[in-house]
Chains A and B, each alone.
Chain A
Amino acid sequence: MAATLLDVRNLQTQFATRGGVVKAVDDVSWDVMEGETVALVGESGCGKSVSALSIMRLVAEPAGRVVGGQVMFKGRNLLTLSEEEMRHVRGREIAMIFQEPMTSLNPVLTIGRQLTEGLEIHLGRTPPQARVRAAELLAMVGIPDPERRLPQYPHQFSGGMRQRMMIAMALACEPALILADEPTTALDVTIQAQILELMKDLSRRLGVAMLMITHNLGVVARYADRVNVMYAGKIIERGTAREIYADPRHPYTLGLLRSVPRLDEPRKSRLAPIEGQPPDLTRLPPGCSFVPRCAFRVDRCSTERPPLREIGANGATGHVSACWEAERLSREAVAR
């Protein structure tokens, strides 16, 4: 039985903006087991990226602040560590990969330098040792002729290769967990497939757990073990990938799955979009944030915010949904 690696409890992160206080992450709890791949799915503004940055304590201050909750990692609460202690965690125990490979690497430093500095700082390797390891890492992520690449610069490589280098950098110090923030969104479809296969393969071989942040439902279906769906800063549904896709129990999840054109289904004459506009985080309604766009709403939804509750009466399955009408949705699924 795998142990829990990361346990996020009641995390709250806020931003002070001109329009008011934005609760980017609003009392959010989820966990990642060792070696597992967990997804945070949602559209722009739902809080998924901010969640990852909050864990790493990289939220842009002073406008943004983590104001509540705990982030338990290997028995310690990361939010209470000193900056110096946190620095030892970053890159060494938890690594992060970002969305834009074109701008996430320093243009004036060689690839070799950017790979070896983590090894020198966190693992105390000497420069020659670090260079050997750096070449190994590049080979591991599928970059041909690695020794020749070390003295080269990022601008000499394509987006796909740069993202591979980011992955190599993330793996350098053998972290237990990698946070991947939309790692393939900026890449072409065929390159995306390469990178995702690589990440899955490495995760399995090295036993590295992964938090995958994305808005692409297809990617999540193939690569994630468990899925958290976020909306307006809250988790509104969680379950295994199978549960979420076969038996969605929140109107937002259902709406998302229905509104996306799919290659595996016969072509519908009309897509079924989610009506309305994305939420304005400075002016959220009381009760459930999804109410203005929800086809299943009842009176209760506008006044009482639904908590994340277990689906089904037979004990803790792990499939939870924050919807008063979660039961009604299962009947819908059967009717579909």
Chain B
Amino acid sequence: MSAPLLEVRNLVKHFQIGRGLVRAVEDVSFSIEKGETLGLVGESGCGKTTTGRCILQLERPTSGEVIFEGRELTKLGQRDLRAVRRKMQVIFQDPYSSLNPRMTVGQIVAEPLSVHGLVRGAGARAARVKDLLTRVGLLPRHAQRYPHEMSGGQRQRVGIARALAMEPTLIVCDEPVSALDVSIQAQIINLLEDLQAEFGLTYLFIAHDLAVVRHISDRVAVMYLGKIAEMADRKSIYDAPRHPYTKALLSAVPIPDPELEIQRERIVLGGEVPSPLNPPSGCVFHPRCPIAIERCRTDVPLLTDLTPGHSAACHLASV
């Protein structure tokens, strides 16, 4: 068995805000095999976006290792990082602000090609741009358009084309469809899946929409307040969740079926999501947990395997 494409070990990221310390990511570890999609799910403040940025070295981790294609990224200098960055790309959430409004679509997609010297000659670059645009479902003539002349879904396609230009092996998708209309979301998700099959891409799919994550991911990690609460393959997470937070999260997602909705068990969590400036003691979830016991307040639960490939950080999960 070959080594995983991406390995994250004990990743920690703290931010100093004034006199307080924001513990955005606290000891997160996971790995992604080549061709796989790992979904990273959680609500605001859980640290999923910061984790993605640390992997890409857009933020330098406070501690921990990020091993990509066998190379440890946290120790690399800017020059070496640049070479590695070709293989790791990112698609952002906001198709409105992640594209330079003063550049045409063609220029946006061609930029990485010329910066990294991948394709030489304007003619060859134009041909490659045309190829990329068609692959993401746009027309060649869109290369002359400016971002503000296109719809949200089309702009997201441009973002995807730009990411593909470098022929990466890993793409971090940070909430790629949250800002899009419902009817367009499905188009983009299908496109991402098609491209994955065609190019053998590996995805880290960060999102808060559980239904979307379930559709596109092979494995899923649920995060809460900087820690991984549960991690398993798709089927296990959704059909047999073991962590109380995962259960509550799943039950909170409304399902478009009135009959089913009335019969469903509802776990409505009390309280607010605590601030990462001041995380609770012991298990960070214990103040809101419906089944918390005394031990949860004092001992931090470790992410332990319950069955092979399915782990949860809960004192009561194995019961």
Contacts and interface: CB of A to CB of B under 8 A. Distances in A.
Interface of A: 43-44, 158, 160-161, 188-194, 196-197, 215-222, 241-242, 245-246, 255-257, 259-264, 267-268, 270-275, 277-278
Chain B interface, >50% SS class: helix
Interface of B: 43-44, 151, 153-154, 181-187, 189-190, 193, 208, 210-212, 214-215, 234, 238, 248-262, 266, 268-270, 272-273
Contacts of B257: 221, 245, 262, 264
B183 A271 contact: no
B269 A255 contact: no
Contacts, number: 131
Given A197-B268, A218-B256, A263 B183 contact: no
A197 B269 CA distance: 11
A188 B44 contact: yes
A216 B259 CA distance: 17
B211 A221 contact: no
Nearest to A240: B258
Given A263-B255, A277-B153, A277-B154, A190 B214 contact: no
B255 to A, nearest CB: 5
A275 B187 CA distance: 7
A323 B246 CA distance: 41
Given A221-B255, A271-B186, A273-B185, 6 more contacts: A158-B272, A193-B268, A218-B254, A255-B183, A261-B211, A275-B187
Contacts of A278: 151, 181, 183-184
Contact of B252 (A189, A256, A257): A189
Nearest to B274: A158
Contacts of A190: 43, 248-249, 252, 268-269, 273
B182 A271 contact: no
13 contacts: A190-B268, A191-B273, A193-B252, A245-B257, A257-B256, A261-B211, A261-B215, A263-B210, A264-B255, A267-B214, A268-B215, A270-B190, A273-B190
Contacts of B154: 277
A256 B255 contact: no
B260 to A, nearest CB: 6
B43 A262 contact: no
Max chain A C-beta neighbours (<10 A), residue from B151, B186, B253, B256: B256
Contact of B256 (A188, A262, A272): A262
Nearest to A272: B186
A242 B258 contact: yes
A257 B250 CA distance: 19
A193 B256 contact: no
A12 to B, nearest CB: 24
